[in-house]
Amino acid sequence: MNNITKQAAMLIREIRSRVPLVHQITNYVTVNDCANITLAIGASPIMADDIGEAADITSISNALVLNIGTLNERTVASMLAAGKRANELGIPVVFDPVGAGASRLRNDTTHDILKNVKLAVLRGNISEISFAAGLTASTRGVDASDTDAGNDGIAIAKKAAAELGCVAAVTGAVDCISDGARIAAVRNGHSMLSKITGTGCMATALVGACAGVADDYWTAAVAGIAAMGIAGEIAYEKTGHLGTGSYRMAVMDAVSLLDEASFALRAKIDAL
């Protein structure tokens, strides 16, 4: 077992031991899934998106997750207020720029968050991360475009991390995570994960849970993304033949049963 796998596996144990509070201003299509996956990994979710309390809730949390999947103007101010409070208190911020590049509102919000909030981790598909980093990108709604899918995820993760001063995690068939110097490739996962909604949002929630107990946010990103991939594999083995509804629940079950030992046994993580 290499060192990054060992360190990532230890975070799974730390989450269950310390039960970090993860504040999430997120996607109302997947908010229930994000809350439940956070509970499944052993953390505690709180979903507070009103401007009247967003910053206050962040101040008592161990991590903040911002997700623009179902963006509206009301929550933009809440995200910025929560992000600024997190920065003041040294609380890690994980940002998922869902669909960045698809509309002016998403684009402007992505730029505003990147300008005003210091991120610990930026997680998205290759199109979203390329857009956030100011690289050439096309978009296909909330999915990576076919045009971008063939681009070099490792190079884009490294470039985005260097440009934005945070860990950049590009998820896809092979997940590429970089802090600008270190690079990891995570080869866990199953194609059936793309057949149910919210798996990207749930992966971001898991990264938030890991960041809530981590000193090294590169390791946190690797751990959260690998955990989702491992769960996707286990779920397929148990229920893939039953269809997407059963598979969706099996993903949650797999995360709820994941521990340090099973993570270490199944993780396919390479430090490049």
- pLDDT in 10s for each residue of the chain, 272 residues: 899 999 999 999 999 999 999 999 999 999 999 999 999 999 999 999 999 999 999 999 999 999 999 999 899 999 999 999 999 999 999 999 999 988 999 999 999 999 999 999 999 999 999 999 988 655 554 444 444 455 689 999 999 999 999 999 999 999 999 999 999 999 999 999 999 999 999 999 999 999 999 999 999 999 999 999 999 999 999 999 999 999 999 999 999 999 999 999 999 999 98
Cβ contacts of residue 44 below 8 Å, gap of 6+? 19, 20, 21, 22, 38
Contact 222/186 with Cβ under 8 angstroms?
A: yes
Question: Where do the H-state alpha helices sit in 65-137?
Answer: 73-89, 104-116, 126-132
Q: What is the pLDDT of residue 147?
A: 41
* CA–CA separation, 45 and 61 (whole Å): 9
Instruction: Take residue 37 and report the two structure tokens written for it.
Output: 């996956």
Q: What is the pLDDT of residue 102?
A: 87
Q: Which CATH superfamily is domain 3-271 in?
A: Ribokinase (3.40.1190.20)
Q: What is the pTM of this model?
A: 0.94
Q: What is the pLDDT of residue 137?
A: 53
DSSP per-residue codes, 239-259: HGGG-HHHHHHHHHHHHHH--
* CA–CA separation, 138 and 258 (whole Å): 36
* CA–CA separation, 256 and 265 (whole Å): 16
Contact 9/225 with Cβ under 8 angstroms?
A: no
Q: What is the pLDDT of residue 14?
A: 98
Contact 90/61 with Cβ under 8 angstroms?
A: no
Contact 131/100 with Cβ under 8 angstroms?
A: yes
Give the three-class secondary structure for 231: helix
Q: What is the pLDDT of residue 152?
A: 87
